[in-house]
Each structure stands twice: as C-alpha cells, then as structure tokens.
C-alpha cells in the first residue's frame, strides 16, 4: 500500500511450494490469484485465490483437462479489468517442443477451458477494455479473441500484391489505462522498434530504438552511476550506434507519467541506483523496457529510463 516500500506477509508461507505468479483483479483489489509449483513430494501445480486481500486463501484444484510441460508450472497471465472472475492461465512448455497452452476461466478459476496452443512461449496476455484479448508470442505471432468467451485466431493480413501486415515480434505486451497497447518489438528487422505503441494491434508506432539511447545520468564522483555506468557507456554506444546525448535527457516522443515520489537513496549512491552492484544495474537495465513510459526526474536532469539490451 506504500508503493512497494514495505510488504506484509499474507499467509502463503510454504516449505514445499515455490510461488511463481501473482495477479490482482483490477476491478477488485481484494481478489488475488497466485500459482505455485510443488517441489517436495509429488510435483504438481497449485492455484490459490483470495477474495479478502489475503486474509484467507482457497486452494483451487486444477482440472484433469490442464496439460503440463515436463515440469508442471502454470502462471496466471491476465485478469479481466472489469470482471474479477475472468482470468487466463498459461501452462509452460505444455505444447512441445517449445510452446505453451493457454486456458481461460469465467468462474474465478473453478473451471478452465483450453483456448490456445502456441508454438512459441507466451510472453503476455492482455484483456482490453472492450473485452477482446491478445496473446503475444515472440516468434509464433499474436492471437486475438473478439469476445470474453470467443475463440483465438492468429492475426495478420495477407496481401497477394504487397507485403503482408503482421504484428511485431512481441517480447512483451501491456496496456495503458486509456487502452493504448505498449509492446517490445525487434530493435532491428523486421520491426525496427524496441518499444512501440498501438491502438490497433496491426498498426504500431515506434516509441524507442536503441539508437536513441542516451548516456548515464550525471552523478557526483564516487557514486555507483559514476563508477559503474559511465565507463560502460562508450562500448554500449558503439554497440547500438546510439546517437542520443552523452548524458540522459528527455526523449520527445515518450509520454511522461506521474509517479509517487520514491524513497530517498542511501548514502553513497546516486538517484535510485543507491548501493547497487553491477548485477543489479544490469537487471534494472533489462527491466527498463517495461517501464519506458514512466519517466521521472533523476539527479539534476530529466533522465528517461531506457532499455539497454535487445529484445
């Protein structure tokens, strides 16, 4: 309740289950779904549900129609923004050699129906405000359902006398509150966009490519950024042919989003870097593609968070 500064246990302590996913129903934050993998005893997948914010949890048995990969791992991958009983479950590796199986529930997880078997791992599922849904895969295409209980089909337009129209090779997919899609595409061919946006999943606009990368924020000597990020910048700039400024500044086509003020950094760090290690900095860089629309002021200059690895 405080932007992730503190967390309170919610009664899911387990010595035998590794929790793998968690989704909160947007229309009812008291409704939460979690999945886990049992690592002791007989390996099996678990689904649990709470309708009171974690005060009590119900163990929801998964039906015999759910197929699994070599390891029985399932993720809750989406919950309808207006209906907390409408959710999607992805079973990892359940469509060999490299694909997943997707299941839909319209009754809060009590029953599931298989709606898709993909050739490539599912990266994200988005349920849109008009109740259409999209399944994004990197190499296997994007699939769409036109109704809450509708079938999924791969989207694209075949043009006999022109280049076919297909969605990007989506490594991630999300939706803003206004319904705009935001996705990670291929930085080079065929998409030429690391991050893009769309209203129509077949018509994308580039938001960012790695050539637009800007250098690290200007921070005082001795800080984590100055000691670890600044020396990495020349090689990174050469790798991606970056033409952005030598230090971070605003990128014109990104939209600013107001965020809560983060807690003060610890002594010895700069901005949010704090006492980060090289590994933590690389992890933050990898995560940046998912938050590229959420810029905040860092140090004394406006510095957008930007991804530093290809999709």
Tens-digit pLDDT profile for residues 277-294: 333 333 333 334 433 333
3-state secondary structure of 34: strand
Structure tokens at 279: 């590994």
Q: Which of 75-79, 156-160, 237-241 has the highest mean pLDDT?
A: 75-79
Average pLDDT over residues 113-133: 95
Summarised one tens digit per residue, pLDDT across range 135-149 is 999 989 999 999 999
pLDDT of 59 > 60? The answer is yes
Average pLDDT over residues 46-75: 96
Cβ proximity of 311 and 289 under 8 Å: yes
Average pLDDT over residues 77-104: 97
Residue 263 pLDDT = 55
Residue 264 pLDDT = 58
Give the CATH class of 17-155: mainly beta
Summarised one tens digit per residue, pLDDT across range 159-190 is 888 888 889 999 999 999 999 999 999 999 99
Domain residues of the chain, as ranges? Answer: 17-155, 211-303
Q: What is the pTM of this model?
A: 0.76
CB atoms within 10 A of CB 271: 18
Residue 129 pLDDT = 84
Strands 172-175 and 152-154: unpaired
Radius of gyration of the chain (CA): 21
Query: How many residues can be counted in the chain?
Result: 311
3-state secondary structure of 243: coil
127 to 84, 101, 294, 307: CA distances (angstroms):
12, 17, 21, 25
Residue 247 pLDDT = 66
Structure tokens at 280: 């933590």
235 to 56, 205, 238, 244, 307: CA distances (angstroms):
52, 28, 5, 14, 15
Contacts made by residues 91-100, CB under 8 angstroms, sequence distance 24+: 91/45, 91/66, 91/67, 92/121, 93/68, 93/69, 93/121, 94/67, 94/68, 94/69, 95/67, 95/119, 96/69, 99/140, 100/69
pLDDT of 273 > 80? The answer is no
Q: How confident is the model at residue 241 (pLDDT cuts 50, 70, 90)?
A: confident
Which of 182-196, 224-238, 250-264 is the least confident region? Answer: 250-264
Residue 169 pLDDT = 93
Structure tokens at 283: 């992890």
């Amino acid at each position: 309740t405080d932007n992730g500064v503190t967390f309170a246990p919610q009664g899911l302590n387990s010595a035998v289950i590794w929790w793998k996913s968690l989704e909160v129903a947007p229309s009812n934050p008291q409704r939460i779904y979690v999945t886990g993998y049992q690592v002791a005893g007989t390996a099996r997948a678990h689904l649990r549900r709470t309708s009171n914010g974690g005060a009590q949890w119900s163990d929801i048995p998964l039906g015999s129609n759910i197929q699994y990969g070599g390891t029985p791992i399932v993720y809750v991958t989406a919950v309808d923004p207006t209906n907390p009983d409408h959710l999607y479950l992805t079973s990892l590796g359940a469509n060999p050699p490299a694909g997943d199986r997707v299941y839909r529930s319209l009754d809060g997880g009590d029953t599931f129906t298989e709606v898709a078997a993909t050739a490539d791992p599912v990266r994200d599922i988005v349920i849109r405000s008009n109740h259409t849904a999209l399944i994004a895969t990197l190499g296997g295409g994007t699939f769409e359902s036109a109704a809450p209980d509708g079938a999924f089909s791969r989207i694209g337009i075949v043009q006999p006398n022109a280049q076919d129209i297909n969605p990007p090779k989506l490594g991630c997919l999300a939706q803003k509150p206004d319904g705009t899609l935001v996705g990670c595409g291929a930085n080079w061919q065929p998409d030429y966009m690391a991050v893009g946006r769309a209203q129509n999943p077949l018509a994308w606009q580039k938001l960012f490519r790695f050539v637009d990368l800007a250098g690290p924020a200007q921070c005082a000597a001795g800080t984590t950024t100055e000691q670890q990020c600044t020396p990495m910048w020349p090689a990174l700039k050469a790798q991606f042919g970056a033409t952005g400024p030598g230090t971070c500044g605003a990128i014109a086509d990104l939209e600013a989003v107001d965020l809560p003020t983060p807690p003060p950094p610890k002594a010895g760090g700069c901005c949010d870097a704090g006492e980060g290690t090289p590994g933590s900095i690389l992890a933050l860089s990898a995560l940046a593609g998912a938050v590229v629309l959420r810029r905040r002021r860092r140090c004394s200059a406006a510095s957008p968070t930007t991804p530093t690895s290809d999709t």
